[in-house]
Structure 1
Amino acid sequence: MTMIYAMPGNEMFAELLIQHTGYSRAGLFLHRFPDGETRVSVDVPAKGEQAVLVCTLDRPDPKLWPLTMAAATLRELGARRVVLVAPYLAYMRQDARFHPGEAISAKLLGEWLDNTFDALVTVDPHLHRYHSLGQIYSRQVRMVHAAAELTAWIASHVERPLIVGPDEESRQWVTAVANLLCAPSVMAHKERRGDREVTVHLPELGRWLDHTPVLLDDIIASGQTLLQALRSLRAYTTAKPVCVAVHGVFADGALEALRGENAGDVVTTNSIMSETTQIDISKVVAEALMDVCSMATVTGTQQVSL
């Protein structure tokens, strides 16, 4: 038997997973004391069953300790395995020590995952210097890719799309979506000088002037890369570009800034729920979760991309 527990704010995504999997819903409750401490309570699992915690990890710091307590409590109360479904996985950016004394947060997150969960399901993690999550997390992993869902939305809402990658890190999503759409694509070159200091250079777009630019990326956080790409597009077209991303993290003011730069639709998946959410990835996440739960007797690292 498998029970699904939703951390606060993840109830809607958890309900979609329940609809797709047929797993049972269980209660999880947080109480915040006036001094800032948290009490975690869970419905007691039947001994030997699997417990699934659903918690997307945008703005992660206030979530990590309650999530740790929930996982430990479920295990203490008899859960045979504890699985984390984190559609967005935080702390992938700092995957090296860029300056003396810096913490390598991606590595530390992997160690925390190893010590807390038996398996992980996540969506398009922002891997840069790591080639796979298996390099930082040694247990069972399913990395879900959302390219097909992004493609379906673009096909339904954009006529004659030109898929534009705002930087080299977006290439894998741009290539996958452009191939599925049989649409043209171009890649920009980014120069970053700080968290909010970015310059984006686009190649010549003259042959695609009758197309609608679709800026495609995995994450919108500060939004600076997309902002600079939007400004560069002004030299080539008066068409309103569309911005599409897997994860809409949106630092303060980022969404407003994008809309202020004449962006058309700004669209993201429900890996993080927001006003931009239009693309549902719950079905493919549910398929990955069922695969993980059906392999409960398998030990060691199992990493598959779906």
Structure 2
Amino acid sequence: MTTIVSASSSQSLAAALARERDATLASVAYDRFPDGELFVSLEGESADLEGERVVVVAATASSDAHVELLCLQDAAREAGASEVVTVVPYMGYGRQDRAFEPGQPISARAVARSISTGADAVFVVTPHEETVCTFFDPTATPVDAASVLADPLPTDLEEPVFLSPDSGAIELAETVRDAYGRGETDYFEKTRRSGTEVEISPSDVDVANRDVVVVDDIIATGGTMSEAVAVLGDRGVGRVFVTCVHPLLVRNAYTRLSNAGVEAVYGTDTLERPASAVSVAPVVADELESAGYLD
């Protein structure tokens, strides 16, 4: 028997995952102690998980969310779970996968090691770099969820072009194009001038009077993405849509993208945001089932 345990930040995805395979969704209480420390508790029948497999679903978009995940893993063990499988829809600190300057930590490794202590297996949805999966012990399984981004797109795209902001994300654009069923792919050349300054060079693809879907794994502030969209506007583009697996969308990201000419922003429920137009639950369920962790 498999029970799904959700972090407070991933309730929608956990519920969708439970529905996908008719699994039990645990009752969890989330609270804080007077000093601000987090408190989680499995309630009612969920407090007795003796001999059961537990799948903990927890995006770690903040330090609090990371601590909550660790507590949920421990709560599952304390309740008697025989196996704890952790699904990380969005991995915070995952982009610092190397020490960029002397004296810096490899933050992704530090986070992965802590999660590994409470898990028998870990699945990470569309990590920024798949190498971060090797930081887990045992090595985590990456789950490619980009294909679901085709689902919310309009069916009447005019000669669509699927663009990634840089060459490193071209496979994401190709995956979405293939799932959509037609279109061309290309990417922008991106040159980082400093920690805050990025220069976007237009690609050679002809976008005049064509609809464009810009695809990326994560959109944070929307700065780089809005610059890319502005370049398209200068070239007579048709409609512009933005899709991403992880719609972090902090600060004034929505405003930036709208002002740049984006018609709509579509993301998944790895992070629960207004732009979360499609769920990754089906692909996560398939991966878990293939690995023998979900019936």
1:107-146 matched pairs, under 5 angstroms: 107-127=109-129, 130=131, 133=133, 135-139=134-138, 141-146=140-145
Match of 2:48 in 1: 45
Secondary structure, counterpart of 1:156 in structure 2: coil
Letter in 2 for 1:85: V
| Matched-pair contact (CA < 8 Å) for 1:50–1:293 | no
> Quick one: structure 1 residues 269 and 294, their matched pair in 2 at CA, closer, same or farther if it must change by over 3 Å?
closer
Structure 1 Cα separation of the partners of residues 280 and 36 of structure 2: 34
Letter in 1 for 2:59: T
Match of 2:175 in 1: 176
Task: Give the number of aligned pairs.
Answer: 291
Q: CA deviation at 1:193?
A: 3.2
Secondary structure, counterpart of 1:122 in structure 2: strand
Matched, 1:55 2:58: yes
Q: For 1:213-242, what per-residue CA distance to the aligned partner results, in whole angstroms no more than 9, with x for missing partners? A: 111111101212211101211221152311
Letter in 1 for 2:167: E
> Quick one: structure 1 residues 9 and 110, their matched pair in 2 at CA, closer, same or farther if it must change by over 3 Å?
closer
Match of 2:160 in 1: 161
Structure 1 Cα separation of the partners of residues 178 and 288 of structure 2: 27
| Matched-pair contact (CA < 8 Å) for 2:229–2:260 | yes
Structure 1 Cα separation of the partners of residues 111 and 201 of structure 2: 34
Structure 1 Cα separation of the partners of residues 38 and 182 of structure 2: 50
Secondary structure, counterpart of 1:153 in structure 2: coil
Match of 1:229 in 2: 228
Matched, 1:89 2:91: yes
Q: CA deviation at 1:108?
A: 1.1
Secondary structure, counterpart of 2:84 in structure 1: strand
Q: CA deviation at 1:105?
A: 0.7
Match of 1:300 in 2: none
Structure 2 Cα separation of the partners of residues 19 and 94 of structure 1: 34
| Matched-pair contact (CA < 8 Å) for 2:162–2:184 | yes
Matched, 1:7 2:7: yes
| Matched-pair contact (CA < 8 Å) for 2:210–2:239 | no
> Quick one: structure 1 residues 255 and 157, their matched pair in 2 at CA, closer, same or farther if it must change by over 3 Å?
farther
Q: CA deviation at 1:283?
A: 1.2
Match of 2:259 in 1: 260
Question: Which consecutive residues of structure 2, in runs of 5 or more, have no partner in the other structure?
Answer: none
> Quick one: structure 1 residues 70 and 82, their matched pair in 2 at CA, closer, same or farther if it must change by over 3 Å?
same
Q: For 1:128-187, what per-residue CA distance to the aligned partner results, in whole angstroms no more than 9, with x for missing partners? A: 7x2x62x21232643221232223333636332111111122111022233443311221
| Matched-pair contact (CA < 8 Å) for 1:71–1:82 | yes
Match of 1:303 in 2: none
Structure 1 runs of 4+ aligned residues shifted over 6 Å read none
Q: CA deviation at 1:61?
A: 0.4
| Matched-pair contact (CA < 8 Å) for 1:50–1:83 | yes
Matched, 1:150 2:127: no
Structure 2 Cα separation of the partners of residues 280 and 71 of structure 1: 23
Letter in 1 for 2:94: M
Matched, 1:102 2:104: yes
Residue range with higher mean Cα deviation, 178-187 or 235-244: 178-187
Letter in 1 for 2:17: L
